[in-house]
Amino acid sequence: MFDRYLRPLIDPPLNRAGRALARLGIRANTVTALGLALGLGAGLAVALGAHGWALALIAGSRLADGLDGAVARATRLSDLGGYLDIVADFVFYAAIPLAFVWADPAANGWAGAALLAAFYVNGASFLGYAILAAKHRLETEARGRKSWYHAGGLLEGSETIAFFVAFCLWPAAFPALALVFAVLCLLTAAIRLAMAADQFGRR
């Protein structure tokens, strides 16, 4: 929801940093891999109860997630790069709730399972919309230049990170926060389904 409003603020410094990294010969896919490694490290930190370290690693992971696109824009966007980026994002999004379940299955198991199921439904609505958008040659740069169509919704990257940060700041509140997050994910999926019906129902 807030991504389109944050992009004009964060893109200029990210693009400057991306151009600098590109001049050093660093490739966008390398930055994507680094971001994924940091994200998985954050999951490991959560599983071990090191929530402060998890916050730092989440911040590093999301910085890399922004920089990989900036490096790609400074060189060239590629279909493979866009594919690796979205796969890395989804792996990271699954790793954090799973880590909270691992850390305390009795307290967090049901909420973590509900959130992961909601992620699955929301992810299907997101990727399915992108497939249809590509089929119909739709384009948008509302959330920056990307290799694939990025359909907006109630929950996007910025809201997801906000919830992950809240999980780490108040780990005992994970079950309640995860349930709220899961409901919002399902609402987002429902909104995308309505958008798809409106956009593609007459085609």
Average pLDDT over residues 165-174: 97
Count the Cβ atoms, other than its own, within 10 Å of residue 41.
18
Measure the CA–CA gap between 154 and 135, rounded to whole angstroms. 24
- Cα→Cα distances 196→14, 65, 73, 127, 181, Å: 32, 27, 29, 12, 22
> What was the pLDDT predicted at 135?
81
The answer on pLDDT for 196 being more than 90 is no
For the entire predicted model, the pTM comes to 0.85
Q: What is the mean pLDDT of residues 85-104?
A: 96
Domain-by-domain residue ranges, the chain? 3-200
Residue in 198, 160, 202 with CA at minimum distance from that of residue 180 = 160
Q: How many residues are present in the chain?
A: 203
Dist CA 70 CA 58 (whole Å):
19
Is the per-residue pLDDT at 130 higher than 60? Answer: yes
Residue 185's pLDDT band (cuts 50, 70, 90): very high
To the nearest whole percent, how much of the chain has pLDDT over 70? Answer: 87
37-66 pLDDT tens trace: 999 999 999 999 999 999 999 999 999 999
Q: In a 3-state reduction of DSSP, which class is residue 140?
A: coil
Q: Does domain 3-200 have CATH number 1.10.10.10?
A: no
Position 149 scores a pLDDT of 54
Please name the amino acid found at residue 158: S
